[in-house]
A and B are shown apart, each in its own frame.
Chain A
């Protein structure tokens, strides 16, 4: 299932490709209106790529993809203020996935995504609390937690199917 570790140009190409895919998904999703008016609620489809990268590639490569995607996403959407929120959420999300990679079996990858989604929400809230200097934003936590688990299950199953299907494609020589 796991491709042999890439080196040099091959690794760079793979990282660039995954970053481009994640950024595209991120930008397309930003155009979809969210029916629930609570800050931070979203599908988080780009997390599929993060989950894939953490479990199939390496923790380090996944972190590189995530940081570049979050940074470019903020640049392209013209919301540099959101960079702080996204980065706080993204880093905590990555941390959760990096820990879970060590303990979950290959068939349980889908379980990692809801945990990472909730961690993403918690990270965002902590940054918001720091920026606005108030804990009042934590009132959103229970709502974000339910939404995060629901959307995380969806993206997690997407990642699980993706990893299993891609594993059947023989690597090109």
Chain B
């Protein structure tokens, strides 16, 4: 293997190791308290998760008939329905911490939980 080949391989291994470490240490943080819903880059709704006793649904209507339904229950959040073609956001299931937000790329909707000591707050802010 050439020295460049070795360099590229080392770089890849380093990147994967760093990512795995990041996922390992930050994949699960304490449950967050505030849910922020962004649509088309703007904050459209803020929900206090600690007070949500009853299940709550929020329907977001976007451009060209796009529609996303957010379900909030017991401090957890999921995208229960979406008109997007890939359904990645629906398949992601429930989130309760700030580790990874639910993102619907086609409909430009983000469900982001804040608080709970998640380390991503600084980045997401």
| CA gap between A78 and B106 in the complex, in Å | 11
* B23 engages A134 (CB within 8 Å): no
Flag the segment in B44-52, B68-76, B97-105 that touches A: B97-105
Contact of B19 (CB < 8 Å), options: A77, A128, A145: A145
In the assembled complex, A10 has its CB within 8 A of some CB on chain B? no
Q: How many residues of A contact B (CB 8 A)?
A: 37
Known A78-B85, A139-B100: A131·B123 in contact at CB below 8 Å: no
Q: How many residues of B contact A (CB 8 A)?
A: 38
Chain A 130-157: CB-based contact to B (< 8 A → 1; otherwise 0): 0111111111111101100100000000
Flag the segment in A14-22, A102-110, A163-171 that touches B: A102-110
Known A134-B124, A140-B103: A104·B110 in contact at CB below 8 Å: no
* B16 engages A111 (CB within 8 Å): no
Complex interface: chain B residues within 8 A of A112 (CB): 8
In the assembled complex, B88 has its CB within 8 A of some CB on chain A? yes
Complex interface: chain B residues within 8 A of A135 (CB): 123-124
Complex interface: chain A residues within 8 A of B99 (CB): 139
* B110 engages A142 (CB within 8 Å): no
| CA gap between A143 and B26 in the complex, in Å | 12
Complex interface: chain A residues within 8 A of B100 (CB): 38, 139-140, 143
| CA gap between A141 and B4 in the complex, in Å | 25
**Which residue of chain B has its CB nearest to the CB of A114?**
B12
* B92 engages A133 (CB within 8 Å): no
Sample (20) of A-B pairs whose CB atoms are under 8 Å apart: A37-B88, A37-B89, A37-B93, A39-B86, A39-B89, A85-B105, A104-B5, A105-B5, A108-B2, A108-B5, A115-B8, A115-B11, A132-B40, A134-B38, A134-B41, A134-B112, A139-B120, A139-B124, A142-B19, A142-B22
A78 to chain B, nearest CB (A): 7
Chain A 35-68: CB-based contact to B (< 8 A → 1; otherwise 0): 0011100000000000000000000000000000
| CA gap between A77 and B106 in the complex, in Å | 13
- Additional A-B contact list (11), CB under 8 Å, known A34-B88, A37-B88, A137-B103: A39-B86, A105-B2, A108-B2, A132-B38, A132-B103, A135-B123, A135-B124, A139-B101, A140-B103, A142-B23, A145-B19
* B23 engages A146 (CB within 8 Å): yes
| CA gap between A81 and B88 in the complex, in Å | 15
Contact of B123 (CB < 8 Å), options: A111, A133, A138: A138
In the assembled complex, A158 has its CB within 8 A of some CB on chain B? no
* B105 engages A39 (CB within 8 Å): yes
Contact of A108 (CB < 8 Å), options: B1, B15, B86: B1
In the assembled complex, B59 has its CB within 8 A of some CB on chain A? no
In the assembled complex, B56 has its CB within 8 A of some CB on chain A? no
Known A136-B110, A137-B101, A139-B123: A111·B88 in contact at CB below 8 Å: no
